[in-house]
Amino acid sequence: MTLSIAALVLFAALLHASWNAVLKRGQDGLWGMTVMGIATSLACAALVPFLPLPARASWPYIAGSALLHVGYNAFLVRAYRSGDFGSAYPIARGSSPLLVTLGAALVAQEVPTLTGMAGIVLVSIGIISLGFRGRRLPETGIFYALGTGFFIAAYSVTDGIGGRLSGSPVSYTLWMCLLWGVTALPIYMARRRDMRVWRGARATGMAALGGWVSLLAYGIVIFAMTVAPMGSVSALRETSVLFAVLLGRIIFGEKLTARRIASVLVIAAGALCLE
């Protein structure tokens, strides 16, 4: 992975942690995710006419990824509802790089170098350790956090392959997010039986901004996976927990202990191995 790609993925990691913090800070995760989906689909619909269609071979991956994102969103909302941000986020994100590496090896015959594998393992261990409370992982919400990690791995491998087949990673990202976004309102209506999603300019605007930020962040990741190993990109992207730890301290008043600092150093060491 080149230094420029690594820097780009780290920027995406910062964006990703930021919109997750916005989602966690909101009082209604399902509503926030719905507004994010609507805002994302509107932005994608406005942009796709100016780009070429993705190659035909990538369309099954576009559809499959959109469905996987629906499952990811459902598990993510439940994970944040069941546990605190400082536990749910690291467990969900830390479990995915190893799963992505395994999936990429099985599906795309993409085997990391020894140094790359060491970096992936270090990042994963460091991230998951941030989710511990004392000497154990919190039981509350761990099922949903691990389920979120599974969906992250599944759609990451799907998009890594689909983006490479598409001929245009940007167009692939927009079409996939458009298909995912249009499911947001029907799912909300089915669960709440309510079409009123407007909750004032400030709250609705913040949720919509989160959707646009997530679109940019994941578009960067899909592009990176077309030019670098999927497992390495996934692990480097998950250094977003470093930013999540800082945001958790500033926004939610969560403690920054010596053990958490040690975990951050392990993640940083892994990131250096990946670069």
pLDDT digits (tens, 9 = 90+) for 72-91: 888 877 776 766 666 676 77
pLDDT tier for residue 57 given thresholds of 50, 70 and 90: very high
Residue position matching structure tokens 């605190």:
84
Q: Are 86 and 137 in contact (CB under 8 A)?
A: no
**Looking at residue 55, what DSSP letter applies?**
P
At 125, is the secondary structure helix, strand, or coil? helix
DSSP string covering 139-174: STTHHHHHHHHHHHHHHHHHHHHHHHHHS-HHHHHH
d(CA 200, CA 75): 26
**What's the length of the chain?**
275
For residue 22, give the nearest of 206, 242, 180, 201 by alpha carbon: 206
pLDDT digits (tens, 9 = 90+) for 197-245: 787 888 788 888 888 988 898 899 999 988 888 878 888 887 777 777 7
Structural domain boundaries of the chain? 3-274
pTM score:
0.78
d(CA 93, CA 241): 8
pLDDT tier for residue 138 given thresholds of 50, 70 and 90: low
Q: Cα separations (Å) of 83 from 12, 91, 206?
A: 24, 11, 22
